Structure 1
């Protein structure tokens, strides 16, 4: 999947199909090898709708203000953004559900695209989990 993003800023926006996601970066120290701690959200009718984990498989939009720091109550909305071996491709692992990554899934009957959490082993390439970022 191809996304547009401005990596390296505290806040950036990502476009996917007709949706525009913004990314709030909380920990921008990639030197630890763990990745960036981020929250994804959209602005809808003047409100922030944050991408949150409902359970180990499902994602939902939760209306909330973005916190200044990550607290215990925010873990369901935090993802670790990890770079892959391929340039400009990233994985977004759930902070709450380890080895579960954001992925886009196309519904067989309707063709609608849905954002889900998908299980992925660390050393296995899983293309629906690899998101491609490019300068906007």
Structure 2
């Protein structure tokens, strides 16, 4: 499958989600009703897109909310999909990022999943980072693509409190 790539688009206002669900089981993630369309931009103001489609972010509630940040799943709705399946950002065991076609699950047992990331806001910046739940200390980021001027979505290892611009994202609400 193709990794996510970046291309240009027009930004809108920043989106924030704060609602929490109270019915959580220990060591699992429950899909909330919160889904939002956002443009995801990187350090050089390019937008994350997959096959020309913007990303949606689905919030998952967890008992670990206050420890790690909000659990989220990033995906695109493909216009030709009639069965509800999404193209979801996932991590392989070798820490490579890929897109996988799947239904967005209602719940996920355990403490990690290839398709879940902890979204944390960087203090006083309106920027966010996405840490893999499957690979602690590894964050979504960008590397230059050798084939083009686009950037490739990757997992990057960073130490706690380390500054790494390619792992910092702006989230801008889309008007749909």
> Which TM-score band (shorter chain)?
0.7 to 0.9
1:1-136 aligned within 5 A: 6-8=15-17, 10-16=34-40, 17=47, 19=49, 20-27=54-61, 32-44=66-78, 45-46=80-81, 47-72=85-110, 75-136=113-174
Higher helix share: 1
In structure 1, stretches of 5+ residues that fail to align are none
In structure 2, stretches of 5+ residues that fail to align are 1-5, 20-33, 41-46
CA distance in 1, matches of 2:125, 2:63: 19
CA distance in 1, matches of 2:95, 2:149: 19
Normalised by the length of structure 1, the TM-score is 0.84
Larger Rg: 2
Normalised by the length of structure 2, the TM-score is 0.67
How many residues are aligned here? 136
**CA RMSD in angstroms, aligned pairs only:** 2.8
Higher relative contact order (CA 8 A, sep 6+): 2
